[in-house]
Structure 1
């Protein structure tokens, strides 16, 4: 059985495979499948990274037995000026470096916590496995921009 952390790393790899096609992005945003938000390559990368950071911080707080940091992200509701920038080879390389490290750090944290801790009840919070399962949903952000044709 694959560890929950490995599943998160696999989701990151999916995102990066999709992002590798964004070098041809022409500046036109994609409408999300729910029709409520727009996505650009930089916005998708930002949201993937933010989601990983948010839940890594949540896991750390849960393991330390302290309250989690309240979520005040603007998340996908906003599109920043920087989200409109052209997506270049260097942007892709930076995304690879950042997102792989975040995904691996999350995976290593779960491994260090130990398999016996993955399904422990965490009060009103999700278990560590449930957080990891939720994080595999980062694929959605990349898929909103989608694989762009050459």
Structure 2
């Protein structure tokens, strides 16, 4: 009986300690320091949000949108996607496996029920992505991480 009580207390304390935290303070699962950059110059659009100088950037995943949709970060920056919507979401690279602009997908299981997942972008390049539930690589819920040399 005693091990059950201890497990219950650990679960209760863990659940309580995570409640009410700001999205950027939530524990992140699925940290993936894998990205394949490119030496090609990248044109930065006017509506891109400059996050250079930040070591960690949070992108809200809402129903049918990424906020901020286009971000600029330094190489070595960790981008955290937090599901703030009611629907299932994922973050899927628009580029093919192991090609410039590719990174490991943040799957639905990681972003379920307010979950958060991240990728550390180690190399400069252009990293377009989308949610395969609400768009494609060319339309719908999509975003972009532009990584500049640090």
Name the TM-score class by shorter chain: under 0.3
Which structure carries more strand by proportion? 2
Scaled by the length of structure 1, the TM-score of the pair is 0.25
Which structure carries more helix by proportion? 1
- Considering only CA atoms, is the larger Rg found in Structure 1 or Structure 2? 2
